[in-house]
Amino acid sequence: MIERSYSQGCEVKICWVIALEPEARPLIDLFDLSPFSNNLNFPVYINSKSGHALVISGIGSSKAAAAATYLKMLFNVKRYVGWINIGIAGFCEEPIGQLFQAIKVHDTARKTSYFPGFRLSKIVKCQTLHTVAKPETTYSDAVLFDMEASGFCEIASMFSCNELVFVLKIVSDTPKSPVSSVSREAITQLIYQNKDKLCEIISHIEKLVNAEKARLHVPEEVYQYFERYHFTQSNRYRFLQAYKKWKSAFPDGKLARTLATGNSASELISNLESELILAIKDWKLE
């Protein structure tokens, strides 16, 4: 369906799904997020200028999936948006505070694996993550352990593409520093101490999001023709394809002039195609 989509007065670019308030607090500060409403099932924060939205899911993979869905529905989040799950994780070795991008997420209960995200390996270390139902205390494998990421990955990749779904984890507990000793304040501190690295990561993700947005963009002038003339869904698709070709071939072309003589969807499409055909003889590749 090629329809103009409406959002709640803001254009979301990055969606954060975070299990705990102490994990979310540094990001709320860093990105200057404000509570969206007091009357919601999940606490939601937003900065409508920068396009960051954040939901606090609670613990567990099904809650992470539900919260991601909630955020998607709340803001009618578009498919070029970046989704990020960040939080603390157990790991078999020090140092506490080390930030990783999880590029393989394995759900130990369902024995399913996900491979989320464009690998930001030039900026951050990559690691395998196991999502478990209960806090890991034995650290039996050389992987990260969390309780949310698999549910998040399963759902968020339905809303965007797999390469724009990111799982970032900060080591909070190890065999030397067990999970029982991790306080709320310590969690917040672990996120804060990675803020520079997080800003670098976000800057890269925003570039990917902007490129994807540009790729999927349907210009306003296209919708204006959809409103003015009767288009079937199939003709909408054909018009959009012809328009994109025409725009690429004639970036400075005036659409109104090309379409001036068209009085129906098929005539408009034909006008665009005819102008392209006339340009074949002098066709340039750039």
Partner 1 sequence: MIDSIFVEREVLDHPVAQKIFKSLKYADIFEIERYQEMFNRRKQNFRIQKQNPALILAKKHDNFVLPAPSGFGIDAQKNYYFSHMYNCIYDCRYCFLQGMYSSANYVLFVNYEDFFEAISDTIYENTNKSMTFFSGYDCDSLAFEKITGFAEKALEFFTDFSSVELELRTKSIVSDTFLNRSPISNCVVAYSLSPSNVAAILDNKAPSIDRRINVLQKLAKNGWPVGLRFDPLIYCSGWEKLYSELINKIFKDINIDQVHSVSHGPLRYPKEMYKKITSLYPDDKLFSFPMEAKDGIVSYGKEIEEEMSSFLQSELEKYTTRNKIFRCLV
Pick the stretch among 42-50, 55-63, 111-119, 175-183 that binds partner 1 (CB under 8 A). 111-119
200 near partner 1, judged by CB under 8 A: no
Other CB atoms within 10 Å distance of the CB of residue 113: 13
92 near partner 1, judged by CB under 8 A: no
Q: In this structure, which amino acid lies at residue 61?
A: S
122 near partner 1, judged by CB under 8 A: yes
Query: How many residues lie near partner 1 (CB under 8 A)?
Result: 38
Out of 245, 262, 266, 270, which residue is the one contacting partner 1 (CB under 8 A)? 245
163 near partner 1, judged by CB under 8 A: yes
Q: In this structure, which amino acid lies at residue 94?
A: E
Out of 244, 258, 266, 270, which residue is the one contacting partner 1 (CB under 8 A)? 244
266 near partner 1, judged by CB under 8 A: no
**202 token code pair:** 């976000």
CB of 157 to partner 1, least distance (A): 5
Task: Point out which residues bind partner 1 (CB under 8 A).
Answer: 103-104, 113, 115, 118-119, 121-122, 125-126, 128, 157-158, 161-164, 208, 211-212, 215, 241, 244-249, 273, 276-277, 280-286
